[in-house]
Amino acid sequence: MFDFQKIRKITPVLWEIPRSFRDDMRVPARFYSHEAMLHEVGADRALEQLVNVATLPGIQGWALAMPDMHEGYGFPIGGVAAFDRQEGIISPGGIGYDINCGVRLLRTGFAKEEIKDFLRDVGRTIFSHVPSGVGRGGKLSLRRGQDFDAVLLLGARRMLELGYGIEEDLAHIESGGKLEGAQPALVSEHAKYRGRDQLGTMGAGNHFVEVGYVETIFDAAAAQDLHLAQGQVTVLIHTGSRGLGHQVATDYIRLMNRVMENYGIHLPDRELACVPFSSKEGQEYFAAMQAAANFAWANRQLVTCEVREAFQRVFGQETPELSVVYDVAHNIAKVEEYEIKGVRKEVIVHRKGATRAFPGQPVLIPGSMGTASYVLLGQEASLVQSFGSSCHGAGRRMSRTRARRQTSAALLREDLSAQGIVINSGSKRGLAEEAPFAYKDIDDVVDVIHEAGIAKKVARLRPLAVIKG
């Protein structure tokens, strides 16, 4: 349990660990939480990891953690840190293994009452259309070479060129579904091999496709702008760069561990492996990371088309178009500009299990099976407080092993069925690991973000059918 005696309360939802907490800290460490949630915040190594992040070269302002924080690899999940573009570092542990794991929200032309009698068909059909589970491949198998590199270069745009989607989709994706600095040649052949057949697939763990509906509208004007209405059926897609992104992270963590000492970098935790952002290795990783991010956007684009096909299979060819509300990344690094101590600076912002929350931008916060998800809208305060960042979900409160010990797939299915939620999953073990009680209270987490002024609540979604690996 973390020692909270030296932590100061800045606002009712913002706390600071001062630089004096440890001699090697370069900046304070800050985190968002209600006081009642502190026991969960301090239950694992997340705050210790946050303090470690505050020691990294070139860090600006403060190391940050969102209210969904929990222990991760190197950085805590829910961690945000900005490093000077010239003097700072880049760290794969601050981005995560599943590069551009993210969430896409689709709105449909259906009301909840119109599909309630078709939920089992909808769940089964999506489950058959969207391959899921560890190692599962999809219907689109790419040849390594120009065919594959086009996806790494163009992201979601390449899927449109192949006939998967419509031009309007790209207008509602963060960065248009494509990062410009991608260099496919810097992605290893092994990473490409792992990703060769994984476009249009979900994977396992906490990834899912969820059919739900708009249960509550908090801001009628904002909801109208997003074309969301009370009772409207929605679809959330949560997946990332699959094995390709994992291998990119693995390759460059190994590289950085070999060369760090050449740059005089000494770390409190080897999982924070990093190099100067401006170095050859730093720029190569950044370009490979961008390629993996583009692969993830292409993946979610193809999954979107598979979900559209599933709806057409159930409801016929005249099914109203499923439109993209927005698509956000939550394991990524981007060069952005902020005012820090009165000076405008370019920084490389690491968001690991954190979502961009620029003013006016939709922020998608998925819950876990059986709990709500949220649509928020980024606010100006995010640029001052959190390097334009928000939380990305509820955040785990217990390990997967502990969750399995407390329930079974059969019991979980029974409980969710009693709530009217249809479950389709290929793994009993994976289903138990993702039990709702294994996560923090999504309402509490989102309330912290809303009260901090980082993003405001627009709509709350409730699940009807959940499809998992």
Start-to-end Cα distance in the chain: 33
The pLDDT value recorded for residue 135 is 60
Asked if 379 contacts 419 with a C-beta cutoff of 8 angstroms, the reply is no
Asked if 87 contacts 60 with a C-beta cutoff of 8 angstroms, the reply is no
Say whether 392 is catalytic.
Answer: yes
The pLDDT value recorded for residue 281 is 98
The pLDDT value recorded for residue 435 is 85
The pLDDT value recorded for residue 143 is 67
The pLDDT value recorded for residue 133 is 63
Asked if 298 contacts 158 with a C-beta cutoff of 8 angstroms, the reply is yes
Which amino acid type is present at position 219?
D
Within 8 A by CB and 6+ apart from 187, the residues are 152, 244, 248, 288, 291, 292
The pLDDT value recorded for residue 134 is 63
- Phi, psi of 437, deg, nearest 5: -70, -10
Q: Give the distance between the most distant pair of CA atoms in the chain.
A: 65
CA–CA separation, 31 vs 61, rounded Å? Answer: 13
Sequence spans of domains, the chain = 1-84+330-366+378-394
* Strand partners for 343: 340
Annotated active-site residue in 70, 238, 392, 450: 392
Asked if 321 contacts 305 with a C-beta cutoff of 8 angstroms, the reply is no
Long-range contacts of 7-11 (CB under 8 A, 24+ apart): 9/35, 11/452
Name the token pair of 286.
């950044």
The pLDDT value recorded for residue 8 is 95
Asked if 126 contacts 93 with a C-beta cutoff of 8 angstroms, the reply is no
Residue (of 461, 62, 1) closest to 231 by Cα position = 461
Per-residue confidence in pLDDT tens, the chain, 469 aa: 677 888 999 999 999 999 999 999 999 999 999 999 998 888 899 999 999 999 999 999 999 999 999 999 999 999 999 999 999 999 999 999 999 999 999 999 999 999 999 999 999 999 999 987 666 666 776 766 678 999 999 999 999 999 999 999 999 999 999 999 999 999 999 999 999 999 999 988 889 999 999 999 999 999 999 999 999 999 999 999 999 999 999 999 999 999 999 999 999 999 999 999 999 999 999 999 999 999 999 999 999 999 999 999 999 988 888 999 999 999 999 999 999 999 999 999 999 999 999 999 999 999 988 899 999 999 999 999 999 999 999 988 888 888 888 888 888 888 888 889 999 987 888 888 888 888 889 999 999 999 999 999 999 999 999 998 7
The pLDDT value recorded for residue 184 is 97
